[in-house]
Each structure stands twice: as structure tokens, then as C-alpha cells.
Chains A and B, each alone.
Chain A
Amino acid sequence: MSTSPILETIHLSKRYKKRWAVKDLNLSVQPGDVFGFLGPNGAGKSTTIRMILTLVFPTEGEVRLFGGLVAQNRMRTLGRVGGIVEKPDFYLYLSAVRNLQILGALNGGVTESRIEEVLELVGLKERARDPVKAYSHGMRQRLGIAQALLHDPELVILDEPTSGLDPQGMKEVRELILQLSREQGKTVFLSSHLLHEIELVANRMAIINRGELVVQGEVEELLSKGEVYVILKAEPADAVKRVLERCTPPIPFRLSEEGFRLDMEFSRIPALAKALVDEGIEIHAIVPRRSLEDFFLSLTESETPSLSESGAPS
């Protein structure tokens, strides 16, 4: 893999009056990455994307795209980037085709056949002549992806592209992202507030909270580095304890509010389930957990804990 990042933010910061929306953010996205940019709502994801795409000017720091400073090479670099920023808004009184013609004209070199092609890719060819105001949210989201791909960019920046979609729509977008990466070799920068979504498509990720970088690295590595445990809800408790002590090797456990918290590898779950069933124990739930998930959930639910408190990798 190339060592020269396709996208880099260096000490990137944005302050609105007294509040820092983004503070000292250092991200590095390599060519070919599907890079997950994860954070709870209001963490600074969209502000970061707006700074990358030159909608918002950084208070401090800089953005580099394709090795050059965006601030100095805006026209050259933006021609190689396509993106959706937050919800997909269009000229509602115009058709999808007309919207794409206007946006294509701003990019230059976008042919009518390319417009047809991207509309087909996102499944909007049949409704291409309808005014966008008649589109559902999902259709607008797909049109948003179409406009991002219109000029065949090398880097695609997608800000919460599955937001508001039904499960089928979410699945289609995920498949499209993987297709863009695997079949077309595009680099994808994907922001989301759902760890699960990032886990399904991204190879690298960063977590941001309150404008600051929490962690950055390979998805697999980040997810495996942290503590792994299983939550077991089963009755009767005494019988469960006996089974856990009898296992080879015995499974260390403690009681938590959620049930038994078992310190074990996920690979032992089937054997444990069988042992519990054989003992006639009633199983309500067996939930594999990783500390990164716990940590991320805690970010989205309440005050920010420190990484050391949550046991997440740093």
C-alpha cells in the first residue's frame, strides 16, 4: 500500500465563537481505503468534511488532498473528489437529469451518457425526468451518491449516506461502497454514527468525539485489541455458575446489571451454549461484546469517559 496519504488533515481545527467544533484533528487516509469516520451526533464529523471540501475555512491547521494543500490547489484537487455533505439537497423544482447536468457543468467534461450511467448505478434511471421534489428521502440520498460519482472521482466522501434509509436501502448503499472500493479502486471516506456500519465496510477508521480524535487505525486491529467479553442472561443462576466452573478451562465471570459478564473468547460461545442447554438452563441472551463498542456506546449515550476508563485501545 502506498505510504502517501490521499487525504490528510494536519492539526485541523475549527472554532465557532468560543466553541471548538473540531480541535487538532490529524487524520490520514491512504489510497484504496474505505475509511470510516465515526462519531456521535455533534462530534464534528460534518464540520471536518466541510473543511475538507472547502465549504468551511479552518481556524487552524490544514487539509491535504493528493499530496497538495487544498487551500492552495482548490480547483485541481476538488475535481478529483466527489462528496455528499449531510442531507442531500437539490434544486427541487428540477429533474434529476437537470440537476446532474448543472453539477456536471461545474465539473466539466461530464457527458449525457455518464449522467445516464450514474443514474442507472443508483437505480434512478426510470425516474430521471421527474422533479426531485417528488422523490422520497431514499431516492434523494441515492441521487446524492449519483452526483458524488458524476465526474468519476478518485476520492468519494460520504457523510452519513445511509441516514434515513430503510434496512434494504442501507444494505444497497453498503454494497455500493464496497463495489466502488473493490471494483473501481476508489478511496471512500465514510462518516457515520454507527460502529456496526463502519465495521461492515471500512478497513480503517477513526473515532472523533467533541471535535477531538479519540482513536485511529485498522478496523480489525482496533476491534480485536480491546477487551472481549460475553454477556449471558440465563436461569437459574446457581446452575449457570456450576456450568461455568465446570468448563475446561473454567470461564471467569462476575455478575453485572445486564447478567453474567464472562471473560472469554467468542469462539467458545457454541460450546458454552451447548453445555448450558444440556443442563436444562433457560438461555435468554448470549451477547458478544467488545470494549470498543462499549466505549463508542458510552460516547453516544452520556458524558465522555476517558479511553483508559473504558478499556478501549489507544
Chain B
Amino acid sequence: MIRLVTYELVKTFLKKRTYLGFLIILLIVPLIEVAMKIEGEGMVRMWTRGLQQDFFFVGNLFNGWIVAYALMNSLWIHIPILISFVAGDMLAGEATSGTYRLILTRPVSRTGIFLSKYVATLLYTLLFVCFLALLSIGLGIALLGTGQLLVPLEGLLILPADDIAWRFFVAYILAFWSMTTIASIAFFFSSFVENAIGPIIATMGTLIIFTIIVFIQLEFFDPIRPYLFAQYMNLWQNAFTHPFSLESLQDGVLVQGLTSIVSVLGAWVIFVRKDILS
């Protein structure tokens, strides 16, 4: 299995498409951080506008942490698109290129091929999330220094400087969990189509539709909302609540985990039974 995963990674990382997401992150994160350095203090003033008449804010509230926190909002839609670029291509790409005919006529089980591709997808997702974390936090601190973290969730929470790093670590673990769900859904769609564009569109379509259902305030959707993975795309924000509570993560972790499992099982059933006609 390690050998199969290794070669899946070789194939993935020798493909230009794989670097598209990294390139976009590499361009957009510095661009946003430099722009925020120039005029970002206005954002902090806006968040604290209602409180400035009654409170004094001391210390460095506008710093690298807050920029990194703001960039994590890209996990709602933008990062999922970039993840689905690669995850959606994992199975469908072989169909498009006709290489299923080469690999599935070898003495390796379809399940083995499937698992190696899924593991490679997860490793890519992990690497991508780590890259986003390191770049946004590293560059943010390099440009704006450290300080307290102002968290604009249900009021304003100011976290002390020594209480922040571990929260970002947990937040990115939770972000990886959510992105795994997106990757698994893209993988599912990738299992039954023969071009890589379809899974990307289908994954984003699913995310957008579910997000609309989550945000639109109609009672009609109340019974299903708790079971939609999109309800918990802000799972990472739970790392910045005070006090931090593991219980607050349970529903999101469970629903997104189940979504991943169902997606992957569905993809597996399709993959091991499908006729390879490409």
C-alpha cells in the first residue's frame, strides 16, 4: 500500500494542476496581508466601533494573528474550490487520460488502487491546509508582529498572546477535518464521471446549495440543517471560543466525518463495480 500511495503522490505532484492551488495561495495570501498592513487597522476600528466610547483598547490588537484569523474565512468557499481541483481529478483524471486501462489490468485490487488514491488525496489536503496555515500565520507575524487576538464572534473576545498559538493549531486541525469532507465529496463525484471538471462543479454546487439552506432563515429547512456538513464549515471557529469546549465540536466533527465516510464508501462501491469504458 505504501508503494501504491507513493506512486499516487508522484503522479499527483508531477502534475501542474496540483500546484495551481498552492500558487493561488502563494499569490493571494501575501497580497491580502500587505494590503491589510496598509489599511487593515480600519478593520479593527470597525469591529471595536461600538465599544471605543466606553473602553480603552491597549496593546497591539492589529497584528499577524488577526490577519491569519481573517484569512481562515477563505475556508468557507475558496479553499474548498482549490481542494476539489485535485480531489475531483483523482479518479476522473485516470478516466480522462485513458490510463485506467493501464493500471486496472495489473495484479492490484481495485480497492487497493482506490485506497491509495484516497490516501493521496488526504495527504494533499493536509499539505494544502498546512501550507495555508504556515504562510498566513508566518507571513502575518513577519509583517505585523504578534499581540492579542481580537475575535469578532458573538461579541468581541480578546485572547491573550500566550493563549493563541495552540488555538490556531486546533483550528487548522478542524479546518483539515472540514476540507477532508470536501475532498471526500469531490472524490465521490470523481468516481462516476470521466472528466475532472464535473466533480469540481458538482462539489461546489453541493457546497453552495447546502450553504444556502444553512443560511436562509426558513423553518422548512430546520429539520435537515443539523445533518448538513455545510452547517459546520465554521467548525474551526470553535477553537477561538472561551472557554474552549470539546463538546461544541461534537456535532460538526460527527456530521462531517459521517459525510466523508458515506462519500468514500459510495465512491468505493461505484469504483469497484464500474465498467472501464474510457
- Spell out A's residues near B (CB within 8 Å): 50, 53-57, 74-79, 81, 83, 85-87, 89-94, 98, 101-103, 105-108, 147
Q: A56 and B99: CB pair below 8 A? A: no
Q: Which residue of A lies closest to B101 (CB)?
A: A85
A103 and B103 in contact, given A57-B273, A75-B108, A93-B14 (Cβ under 8 angstroms): yes
Q: Which residue of A lies closest to B108 (CB)?
A: A106
Residues of the B chain whose Cβ atoms lie less than 8 Å from the Cβ of A105: 3-4, 6-7
A89 and B101 in contact, given A56-B275, A106-B4 (Cβ under 8 angstroms): yes
Q: Which residue of B lies closest to A53 (CB)?
A: B105
Can you list 18 A-B pairs with a CB-CB distance of less than 8 A?
A54-B104, A55-B100, A55-B101, A56-B276, A57-B275, A74-B107, A81-B105, A86-B101, A89-B97, A89-B98, A89-B101, A89-B102, A90-B99, A93-B16, A103-B106, A105-B4, A105-B6, A107-B106
Residues of the B chain whose Cβ atoms lie less than 8 Å from the Cβ of A89: 97-99, 101-102
Q: Which residue of B lies closest to A79 (CB)?
A: B107
Per-residue CB contact flags for chain B residues 103-133 toward chain A (1 = under 8 Å, else 0) read 1111111000000000000000000000000
Task: Count B interface residues, CB 8 Å.
Answer: 26
Q: Which residue of B lies closest to A51 (CB)?
A: B275
Q: Which residue of A lies closest to B10 (CB)?
A: A102
Compute how far the CA of A74 lies from the CA of B276 in the bound complex, rounded to whole angstroms.
Answer: 16
Compute how far the CA of A111 lies from the CA of B133 in the bound complex, rounded to whole angstroms.
Answer: 40
* CB of B45 within 8 Å of the partner chain: no
Q: A90 and B102: CB pair below 8 A? A: yes
- Known contacts A85-B101, A87-B98; 14 further A-B pairs (Cβ under 8 A): A55-B101, A55-B104, A55-B276, A56-B275, A56-B276, A57-B275, A85-B105, A86-B101, A98-B10, A101-B7, A102-B11, A105-B3, A106-B106, A147-B102
* CB of B15 within 8 Å of the partner chain: yes
Minimum distance in angstroms from A130 CB to a CB of chain B: 14
* CB of B277 within 8 Å of the partner chain: yes
Q: A50 and B276: CB pair below 8 A? A: yes
**The one of A50, A76, A85 that contacts B107, using a Cβ cutoff of 8 Å:** A76
**The one of A76, A78, A102 that contacts B105, using a Cβ cutoff of 8 Å:** A78
A106 and B275 in contact, given A55-B101, A89-B99, A89-B102 (Cβ under 8 angstroms): no
Compute how far the CA of A101 lies from the CA of B101 in the bound complex, rounded to whole angstroms.
Answer: 16
Residues of the A chain whose Cβ atoms lie less than 8 Å from the Cβ of B3: 105
Residues of the A chain whose Cβ atoms lie less than 8 Å from the Cβ of B101: 55, 85-86, 89
The 5 closest A-B pairs by CB, nearest first: A89-B98, A106-B106, A79-B107, A55-B276, A53-B105
Residues of the A chain whose Cβ atoms lie less than 8 Å from the Cβ of B99: 89-91
Q: B97 and A103: CB pair below 8 A? A: no
Per-residue CB contact flags for chain B residues 1-30 toward chain A (1 = under 8 Å, else 0) read 001101100110011100000000000000
Compute how far the CA of A79 lies from the CA of B107 in the bound complex, rounded to whole angstroms.
Answer: 5
Minimum distance in angstroms from A76 CB to a CB of chain B: 7
Q: Which residue of A lies closest to B116 (CB)?
A: A106
Minimum distance in angstroms from B44 CB to a CB of chain A: 46
Compute how far the CA of A254 lies from the CA of B98 in the bound complex, rounded to whole angstroms.
Answer: 52
Residues of the A chain whose Cβ atoms lie less than 8 Å from the Cβ of B275: 50, 55-57
Q: Which residue of B lies closest to A92 (CB)?
A: B97
Residues of the A chain whose Cβ atoms lie less than 8 Å from the Cβ of B109: 74-75
Residues of the B chain whose Cβ atoms lie less than 8 Å from the Cβ of A81: 105
Tell me which of B103, B108, B109 has the highest count of chain A C-beta atoms within 10 A of its own C-beta. Answer: B108
Residues of the B chain whose Cβ atoms lie less than 8 Å from the Cβ of A147: 102
Residues of the A chain whose Cβ atoms lie less than 8 Å from the Cβ of B6: 105
Minimum distance in angstroms from B158 CB to a CB of chain A: 50
Compute how far the CA of A85 lies from the CA of B98 in the bound complex, rounded to whole angstroms.
Answer: 10
Compute how far the CA of A74 lies from the CA of B101 in the bound complex, rounded to whole angstroms.
Answer: 15
Compute how far the CA of A64 lies from the CA of B12 in the bound complex, rounded to whole angstroms.
Answer: 35
Compute how far the CA of A77 lies from the CA of B275 in the bound complex, rounded to whole angstroms.
Answer: 19
Compute how far the CA of A86 lies from the CA of B4 in the bound complex, rounded to whole angstroms.
Answer: 25
Query: Which residues of chain B in 70-106 are interfacial with respect to chain A, using CB atoms and an 8 Å cutoff?
Result: 97-106
Q: B105 and A93: CB pair below 8 A? A: no
A107 and B107 in contact, given A56-B277, A102-B10 (Cβ under 8 angstroms): yes
Q: Which residue of A lies closest to B274 (CB)?
A: A57
Residues of the B chain whose Cβ atoms lie less than 8 Å from the Cβ of A74: 107, 109
Q: A54 and B105: CB pair below 8 A? A: yes
Minimum distance in angstroms from A91 CB to a CB of chain B: 6
Residues of the B chain whose Cβ atoms lie less than 8 Å from the Cβ of A83: 105
Residues of the B chain whose Cβ atoms lie less than 8 Å from the Cβ of A57: 273, 275
Q: B14 and A78: CB pair below 8 A? A: no
Q: B108 and A94: CB pair below 8 A? A: no
Minimum distance in angstroms from A282 CB to a CB of chain B: 53
Compute how far the CA of A79 lies from the CA of B106 in the bound complex, rounded to whole angstroms.
Answer: 7
Q: Which residue of A lies closest to B276 (CB)?
A: A55
Q: A106 and B14: CB pair below 8 A? A: no
Compute how far the CA of A147 lies from the CA of B102 in the bound complex, rounded to whole angstroms.
Answer: 8
Compute how far the CA of A53 lies from the CA of B105 in the bound complex, rounded to whole angstroms.
Answer: 6
Minimum distance in angstroms from A265 CB to a CB of chain B: 45
